[in-house]
Amino acid sequence: MSLDPSFVGRTYPPTAPYQVGREKIREFATAIGATDPAHHDPEAARALGHPDVVAPPTFPVVVTMAASRQIVEDPALGVDYSRVVHGDQRFAYTRPVVAGDELVCASTIEDVTTRGGHGFLTTRTDVSTVAGEPVVAVWSKIVVRGEA
């Protein structure tokens, strides 16, 4: 089954709020080798003007997983997850993610194409606070490998 291009422009419902915890940020930073004290020490983060520890730039991947699941699990779109490989990821920040944030995500399918027998799906997930303050936009491209 190939990806359905009529899904371009479709926006999925916002996710349930995600509470960003200090320990989650520390664990993520440790896992990726991010040693900047602002990711681990609240005092170091406050000295830089942040209310609490600051998440590394790729941390929103954790927050956007529920929104991504909405898309890849939509049977009408045609994603065979057993054939998916990661293609690209990028972030455009309005402000950093910090411990204490309560974030929601809304994903939109921006592009669906087929090249060389493979499907390419590009999504944009807008991450904002529960109060509606924009935090970061996250673009992701996945490749659904064609049949061999």
pLDDT digits (tens, 9 = 90+) for 96-137: 999 999 999 999 999 999 999 999 999 999 999 999 999 999
Residue 11 lies in a domain: yes
Helix/strand/coil (H, E, C) string of 58-102?
Answer: CCHHHHHHHHHHHHHCCCCCCCCHHHEEEEEEEEEECCCCECCCE
Using 50, 70 and 90 to split pLDDT, how confident is the model at 147?
A: confident
- In the chain, count of helices (H) and strands (E)? 3, 5
Give the mean pLDDT of the chain: 96
How confident is the model at residue 1, as a pLDDT? 59
What global pTM score does this model have? 0.93
Residue 128 lies in a domain: yes
Using 50, 70 and 90 to split pLDDT, how confident is the model at 2?
A: confident
**Whole-number Å distance between alpha carbons of 78 and 1:** 6
Backbone phi and psi for residue 81, each to the nearest 5 degrees, phi listed first: -65, -20
Using 50, 70 and 90 to split pLDDT, how confident is the model at 57?
A: very high
- Quickly tell me which residue has 């993610």 as its tokens: 97
Count the neighbouring beta carbons within 10 Å of the beta carbon of residue 22: 15
Q: Is the pLDDT of residue 142 over 70?
A: yes
- Quickly tell me which residue has 């529920």 as its tokens: 66
Residue 69 lies in a domain: yes
- Residue 65 sits in a domain of what CATH number? 3.10.129.10
Domain hosting residue 84, numbered range? 5-21+55-144
Residue 35 lies in a domain: no
Residue 33 lies in a domain: no
Average pLDDT, integer, range 45-68: 96
Residue 89 lies in a domain: yes
Q: Report the number of distinct structural domains present in the chain.
A: 1
Residue 44 lies in a domain: no
Residue 30 lies in a domain: no
Q: Is the pLDDT of residue 25 over 80?
A: yes
